[in-house]
A and B are shown apart, each in its own frame.
Chain A
Amino acid sequence: MIETTHTEQLFDAFATLADTLVVGYDVLDLLQSLVEYCHDLLDVDSAGILLMNETGDLEVVASTSEANTLVEIMQLDANAGPCLESFTTRTVVSVPDIDVDVDRWPDFSRTASAQGIHSVYAIPLRLRETTIGTLNLMRNERGELGRHDIRAAQALADVATIGILQERTIRDASTIRDQLQQALSSRIVIEQAKGVIAETHQLSMDAAFERIRGHARAQQMSLSVVARQLVAGELRL
C-alpha cells in the first residue's frame, strides 16, 4: 500500500468534493461522500448528516453505517441531543463524555452509550445566516476530538455547505430548498432499494446499502437513480 500523509489525503478529499460540486450534482451523493471522508480521514467511528425537512425537523440524510441502530441514535439526537443543539444554536457542540450528564438528553445518551458510542461532536452546516443541517461525528472513545481533526471536519463541512448554498444563489432562492427536500425524499426510494437487496441476497441493511453504493460509484450514477431502478425492477444487483 502506498503511504500518503494525512494532509495529502485531505487535499484529495477537498479536490474530490470540489469535483462533486459541478453543475447538476446530486446533493445526496455529495453528503454521502462527506460522511465517508470524515470516517476515513478523522479519528471518528461513525458520522452522519442531518438536514432540516419541510416541517423544520432534522432528518438523517447520510451516514457511514446504514445499520438501523446508528440511524436511530442520530434521529434521537435530532429530537433532543447535541445535534439539535448545534443546529438551533448554530455553534459547534462537543460532548467528550456522553455518560457524564445523562439527564441532559436521556433517550439519546442511554441509547448511544448502550451501542458503545461515548463522545459526540456536532458541527452546524452553516453559511452566515443560513443553517441547513448538521454534521455529527461520533466516537467510541471518550475525550475531545483532536485539534487537527476539528479543523479538518469544519473545513469539510464548510466546503459542502458553501457548495450547496452557492448553487442556491446561482439559481433562484427556492431551488436549494427543493434540492435539499429532494435529497431527503430520495431517502425513501433508497430505503426501499436497501430492502429489495436485503431480501434478494439475504443481507443486512448496511451491507445492502454498500452494494448499492458500490454499484453507483462503479457506474458513476447517483444513488437515487440506482435506487429507483432497483425498486422498479429495471436493475438487478
Chain B
Amino acid sequence: MTVDPFRTASEALSESGGNLTELARPFVRFLPVTGASVSTFGSLLSAETISATDARAQRVDELQFDLGEGPCWDALATRAPVLEPDFATSASWPAFTPAIRQEDVAAIFAFPLMFGPLEIGAVDLYSSTPGTLTARQQKQALVLSAVVSRILLRHAISEATTPETTTFSRRLIHQATGMVLAQVGSTADDAYLLIQARAFADDRPMREVAEDIINRRIRFGDLSETDEVTP
C-alpha cells in the first residue's frame, strides 16, 4: 500500500494544534514546490505572514505586501488559484515580476484563503524551477487551504472576542446555527463558525447576528469555496 502524501499532509495539518507557525509546512510535503507561506490580509485581518517554510517563502510574501501586487493579491481578489509557471516568460505584474526574478524563484502558485464570503488571506507556493500543478494537485491545495482558513479564522475570533454566556442568547445562536446549516448545506460546526465570523467581521455580538438570521434579515449563500478549480 502506498502512502498518500496528501493524506499525510492533511493529518499533519489537523494535528498542528494551535501552532500557527507550522501551517505552511504540510503544503510542501505533497506538492512539487520548494517552499510555502501562509499569510493573512484582505478586508478582515491585518496583513501578516503567519507561517513560512523558509526565508525565500517569507520574501515572496514580503515583496507582494510591499509592492501591493502579485499572485496572492489576485488569488484572494478573484477567489481562485493563480498559477505563474515561469516568471522568465511572464509579464503579469509590472513591479512584482522584475523584483521576484532577482530571488531565484521560477514559479509561484497562490491559493486564496476564505471562509464563505469572508477573506482570510492566501497561501503562496514557490518553486525554484519552472513548472505547474496538475488539476488534482490544485484541488488538493484548495482542500488544504480550506482547512487552514478555518484554523486562522477560529484563532482570530478567539483572540478578539469574549464568549457570551446567557442561556437565552445561546438558544438563539443554536437556532440560527440550524438555519444557517440548512442555508449553506454545511455541518453545524461550520454554520456556527460562519455566524461567529460574521459577528467578528461586523464587530457585533453573536446574539444580534443570530436574531438577524432568525428574523430573516441575514442569509448565507453556498459555502463552496473548495468546489472551484481553475485549470
Contacts and interface: CB of A to CB of B under 8 A. Distances in A.
Interface in A185-213: 187-189, 191-200, 205
Interface residues of A, number: 24
A29 interface: no
Contacts, number: 65
A72 interface: yes
Contacts of B178: 191-199, 231
Contacts of B180: 195, 199
A200 B184 CA distance: 11
A166 B183 CA distance: 43
A57 B170 CA distance: 14
Contact of B174 (A72, A78, A195): A195
B167 A205 contact: no
B229 to A, nearest CB: 25
B172 A192 contact: no
B182 A200 contact: yes
B179 interface: yes
Nearest to B176: A195
A71 B183 contact: no
A53 B170 CA distance: 14
Interface residues of B, number: 18
A192 B166 contact: no
Contacts of A68: 171-172, 175, 214
A231 B174 CA distance: 11
B175 A195 contact: yes
Interface in B206-224: 214
B47 interface: no
A43 interface: no
B179 A198 contact: yes
B179 A191 contact: no
Contact of A199 (B174, B179, B188): B179
A231 B214 CA distance: 17
B9 interface: no
Q: Which secondary structure dominates chain B's binding surface?
A: helix
B177 A192 contact: yes
Nearest to B211: A68
Interface string B194-216: 00000000000000000000100
Interface in B104-126: none
Interface string B121-135: 000000000000000
B182 A196 contact: yes
B174 A75 contact: no
A231 B178 CA distance: 7
A158 interface: no
A51 to B, nearest CB: 11
Nearest to A200: B182
A59 interface: yes
Nearest to B210: A195
Contacts of A191: 171, 174-175, 177-178
B181 A196 contact: yes
Contacts of A13: none
A212 B29 CA distance: 47
Given A75-B168, A194-B178, A195-B177, 14 more contacts: A60-B167, A60-B171, A187-B171, A188-B170, A188-B174, A189-B174, A191-B171, A191-B174, A195-B179, A196-B181, A197-B178, A198-B178, A198-B179, A199-B183
10 contacts: A68-B171, A68-B214, A192-B175, A194-B175, A195-B175, A195-B176, A197-B178, A198-B179, A205-B214, A231-B188
Of all A-B residue pairs in the complex, the 3 with the closest CB atoms, nearest first, are: A195-B178, A191-B174, A192-B178
Interface of B: 166-168, 170-172, 174-183, 188, 214
